[in-house]
Amino acid sequence: MGKRKAMFMPMVCVSSFMLVGYAALDTTAPEIVTESLDLELNEEVTPEMIQAVDNKDDRSAITITVDQSADYDATREGTYYITVTATDSFNNVSEEKVIPVTYSDKKAPVISVKDGVDTDANVIKLRYNSDANIREYIQAIDNNINSGNQGDLTEYIVQENELDTSTLGSQIVNVSVKDDAGNETKKAIPVYIIDDVAPDLQLADDGEARINYGSQFDLSEFAKAIDEYEGDLTDQIEIVEQQLPDTNTLGATGYVNLKVADSSGNVTEKTLNLTVADTEAPTITFSRNNFSVKMGDTVNVADYVSVSDNLDQDIGSKVTYSANTVDTSSEGKQTITVSATDEAGNTTTETFTVTVYDPATYAGNTVVSAAATKVGCAYVYGGSGPNVFDCSGLTQWAYRQAGISIPRTATAQYYGASQHLYSYSELQPGDLLFFNTQGTSYSHVGIYVGNGMMVHAGSESTGVNRTSIYGSYWTSRFTGAGRYY
């Protein structure tokens, strides 16, 4: 048997041959299989969204290149186009493929509480009487920045029920909002109305008050409390501590510590400081005022004025008059101002009024004359003339003859008078006299005609007659007189 010859081939050459042969085999480019994309607004295209297949590589080894068109805008609804290519690990590049990308708005707006709004566990906390517009406290933001105010839809929030900020406690406000695409969000907003404002404790003279000489301390004169929610809480003010001054000593000082709380527990505390001083103005009293005098009469105002003061003994020298005497040279109402000032500078001002009339033209004369012509006429309840009268019907008729309109009933005639008189000594002809004859102060009225006499419609038995006002029946029942001018 013959010998065989062995053939050897270097391994390195074999290996090289195999590699070259294998590389030459992968010349196929990847294929892009994605036909289109449907995206939400503002969602950017990423290579991972594009699917491609390759004869050798899986998707993770394929590189996708995306080229967006010039008009591509992810913030606006519409269809845009991208050009993509795929490259495998052997650098085989696919043909370019144009893929349509459609953007649509399918996402509803988001309703949330605005920054800076006070909340507790997502509950909006509002102060009593705050703005009842819920849009002041919440916002609606949409993903479409081209709708509303750059995506802010707050102004389009619909408040479906009222927010009552005048009532403390919990409430639910239902709201809704839609974007341009019709996506709607509904939300129940929990709200809690609170009273976190303490009462306003108001002190006289900002807490540095003067208490009148000789007076008793009365807190209501120096302090009051007003609460925003509960109103007047003055009667709820507590005296925590006090050291009152001796009010019979000018300049003495003291203090009162005060506290007031509302039903929500808000508390205000203040100190009222007190200093004893003369704060009371003098008192001016007129022995007679608002009366009538004839032209030419002399009226010294000081004769009718008296002045007293709580502290000063001699106050008369500090009384001033705008005029010392009344000018009675002509008809009309004369008013004089009287002022008095004590040592502490407290001033009182009063007015002294006198009506000057001309006896020759005084309307009372006409009234008297008219009434006298009806003496003897019958008394009839409700009668107003011209030949039958009751008491106030006669007086009204007589005044009408003088061109003066007065009310119909005796009581109304008293209260409607220009001037009231309280004694017979002040009477002038034409004045009305009032008497209590039926259990009321002004149940009967007559006309003073001078010389202590009156004309009146007394009763069915007397008719209209003239009688003396000084009889015991009339003097015991006289309640006042009235003068019209």
Active site residues: 391, 444, 456
Nearest to 125 by CA among 72, 64, 185, 171: 171
Structure token digits, residue 269: 């505390």
Q: Kindly give the interhelix angle for 391-401 and 363-372, rounded to the nearest 10 degrees.
A: 130
* 256 three-state secondary structure: strand
- CB contact at 8 A, 295 and 359: yes
Q: Which H or E run contains 259? A: strand 253-261
**How many CB atoms are located within 10 Å of the residue 394 CB?**
27
**How many CB atoms are located within 10 Å of the residue 208 CB?**
12
* 479 three-state secondary structure: strand
**How many CB atoms are located within 10 Å of the residue 263 CB?**
12
Secondary structure of 171-238 in the HEC alphabet?
EEEEEEEECCCCCEEEEEEEEEEECCCCCEEEEHHHHEEEEECCCCCCHHHCEEEEECCCEECHHHCE
E strand residue ranges, 358-418:
378-379, 388-389
